[in-house]
Amino acid sequence: MISVEEAEKLISDNLDSLPTETLLLEQSLGRTLREPLLADRELPPFNRATLDGIAIDSSAFSLGKHSFPIVGIAAAGTAPKTLHDSNTCFEIMTGAPLPGGTDAVIRVEDISIQDGTATVSTTTEVKPGLGVHPAGSDCRQGQILLKPGRTITAKETAIAASIGKTKVVVSKLPTINIVSTGNELVEISDTPLPHQIRRSNDSTLAAALISSGFSNTSKHHLPDDKAIVENSVATLLQNSDVLVIAGGISKGKYDYLPNALKENGAEMVFQWVSQRPGKPLWFGIYERGGKRIPIFALPGNPVSSFTCLHRYVIPALAKMAQTHEAPQTHIKLKQSYSFKALLSLFLPVSVATDNDGTLWATPLPFNTSGDFISVAQTSGFIQLPKDQVDFEVGSVHRYFPWS
């Protein structure tokens, strides 16, 4: 068996970047940006009023003038005006260009207007730049506003829209085929016989991938039939950018997948990782047209496959998409815990935050690796190292949330 860290590195070393495509901005939500977005002009493009009030030349106020006849209105969306007499003012609205000859905006709460003249309260502190959002203070023309690797969310959309990017270059979604195996599995709409169970694994894996931004998924089920498995694997390898298999990879008599993958030209990179759950994890590569197709054969037990998907598959997909690596989250253990097996443990936990903002993980171990019902009671899992047996309260460990 190899370590978790070795498995992670071997997977990372065998991944190719996804190709790019150009999408309309409104279609790009959740995708990974693959081009830099540059400011097409200064932002804001003019000295902008940040509040409603009057625009004045502050030097007149500093010389003792407090009453200013209003000579016009500067509204948002209108061309900049010019104040020719520093003893007068413009009434101005939020977002309007600051008139030439003025350098301060006094808010409406600090003035009174009567007979076309605005009088400023004597207690108001007025100085150049008051109430003004200076031109170019957010960014300069040509400045990189977003670097490649950002996931496009609402805030990235706002930036792209502000610079006129109606289309963006993003990572193309990979075609992910999810395969479940076993004669004991029936459709979720079926009534299972006493010796059967409904298929939940493939639906769970697909939902987790879609929640993580990889929506181009298809589900397939293979019975325990050697010929069908071999023929189906051949087809799947030709029609996948990523292949995710749940079950059929261990040492059982009907575990035909490892040999079927080999016979169809897939190369195993590793199998067996010193971890719990998910020890039988298999990873391999299929080369097609100069491109490496990663194959993740996860253990068939629901908790094992769900955990390995979050620990290995979703991070691998993020790397293929060239998504900036998210900072690792670490969390403190709220209860002591002991684990004697010489394996890395992915321990399911619930998470809470105390009044100091510290994240705490409470262990909620499952009965077995098939206890998928208990997953709903947890927030994610922490990774406990295999070279340690006892873990004290307050010890810090890496945390992986469920998607």
Q: For residue 207, what is the DSSP state?
A: H
* Per-residue burial over 106-116, b = 16 or more CB atoms within 10 Å of its CB, e = otherwise: bbbebbeeeee
For every residue of 172-201, DSSP letters joined together read: PPP-EEEEEE-TTEE-TTS---TT-EE--H
Q: Which of 102, 14, 4 is nearest to 61 (CA)?
A: 102
382 and 282 assigned to the same domain: no
| pLDDT at position 78 | 96
Average pLDDT over residues 90-102: 98
| pLDDT at position 370 | 56
Average pLDDT over residues 10-28: 98
In a domain, 43, yes or no: no
273 and 179 assigned to the same domain: yes
Going by pLDDT thresholds of 50, 70 and 90, the confidence category of residue 41 is very high
Going by pLDDT thresholds of 50, 70 and 90, the confidence category of residue 195 is confident
Q: What are 284's strand-pairing partners? A: 268, 295
| pLDDT at position 239 | 97
Distance of CA 216 to the CA centre of its chain: 17
Rounded to whole angstroms, the Cα distance separating 177 from 181 reads 13
Q: Which of 134, 139, 137 is nearest to 49 (CA)?
A: 134
Going by pLDDT thresholds of 50, 70 and 90, the confidence category of residue 181 is confident
| pLDDT at position 366 | 78
Indicate the pTM of the whole model. Answer: 0.87
Q: What are 359's strand-pairing partners? A: 353
In a domain, 289, yes or no: yes
Q: Which two tokens stand for residue 265?
A: 């030209």
196 and 107 assigned to the same domain: no
**C-alpha angle with apex 72: 66 to 74, nearest 5 degrees?**
100
In a domain, 139, yes or no: no
How are beta strands 282-288 and 291-298 bridged, if at all? Answer: antiparallel
Q: Which of 145, 192, 177 is nearest to 164 (CA)?
A: 145
Average pLDDT over residues 165-194: 87
- Mean residue pLDDT across the chain: 93
292 and 378 assigned to the same domain: no
Amino acid symbol at 367: N
Q: Where among 104, 133, 162 does a domain terminate?
A: 133
How are beta strands 89-92 and 53-56 bridged, if at all? Answer: antiparallel
Going by pLDDT thresholds of 50, 70 and 90, the confidence category of residue 176 is very high
| pLDDT at position 369 | 56
Average pLDDT over residues 2-16: 98
**Strand, coil or helix: 20:** strand
In a domain, 138, yes or no: no
Range of the domain at 395: 329-401
Alpha helices in 105-182 (DSSP H): 154-162
180 and 283 assigned to the same domain: yes
Phi, psi of 382 (to 5 degrees): -110, 155
293 and 203 assigned to the same domain: yes
Cβ distance 54 to 118 under 8 Å?
A: yes
Q: For residue 323, what is the DSSP state?
A: P
In a domain, 140, yes or no: no
Rounded to whole angstroms, the Cα distance separating 172 from 265 reads 25
| pLDDT at position 368 | 63
Task: For 115-133, write each residue's pLDDT tens digit.
Answer: 999 999 989 999 999 999 9
Query: Please, what sign has the CA dihedral across residues 384, 385, 386, 390?
Result: negative
Q: Which two tokens stand for residue 393?
A: 């309260």
Q: Provide the CATH number for the domain around residue 160.
A: 3.90.105.10
158 and 181 assigned to the same domain: no
Cβ distance 268 to 258 under 8 Å?
A: yes
Q: Which of 297, 306, 298 is nearest to 209 (CA)?
A: 306
Burial of 189 (0-12, 13-18, 19+ CB in 10 A): exposed
How are beta strands 217-222 and 176-181 bridged, if at all? Answer: parallel
Residues 6 or more apart in contact with residue 39 via CB below 8 angstroms = 139, 140, 141, 142, 143, 145, 163
Of 111 and 197, which is predicted with more confidence? 111
pLDDT above 90 for 186: no
In a domain, 290, yes or no: yes
Task: For 345-398, write each residue's pLDDT tens digit.
Answer: 999 999 999 999 999 999 998 776 556 677 888 999 999 999 999 999 999 999
Q: Which of 106, 3, 97 is nearest to 46 (CA)?
A: 97
193 and 304 assigned to the same domain: yes
**Share above pLDDT 70 across residues of the chain, in percent, rounded to a whole number:** 97
* C-alpha distance across the termini of the chain, in Å: 28
270 and 390 assigned to the same domain: no
61 and 10 assigned to the same domain: no
Based on the structure, what is the number of domains in the chain? 4
In a domain, 314, yes or no: yes
Asked which of 7-21, 180-194, 339-353 is least confident by mean pLDDT, the reply is 180-194
Q: What are 296's strand-pairing partners? A: 244, 283
| pLDDT at position 251 | 64
**Strand, coil or helix: 239:** coil
Task: For 218-267, write each residue's pLDDT tens digit.
Answer: 999 988 888 999 999 999 999 999 999 998 776 666 578 888 999 999 99
177 and 255 assigned to the same domain: yes
Q: How many CB atoms lie within 10 A of CB 79?
A: 7
90 and 208 assigned to the same domain: no
pLDDT above 80 for 199: no
In a domain, 284, yes or no: yes
**Share above pLDDT 90 across residues of the chain, in percent, rounded to a whole number:** 83
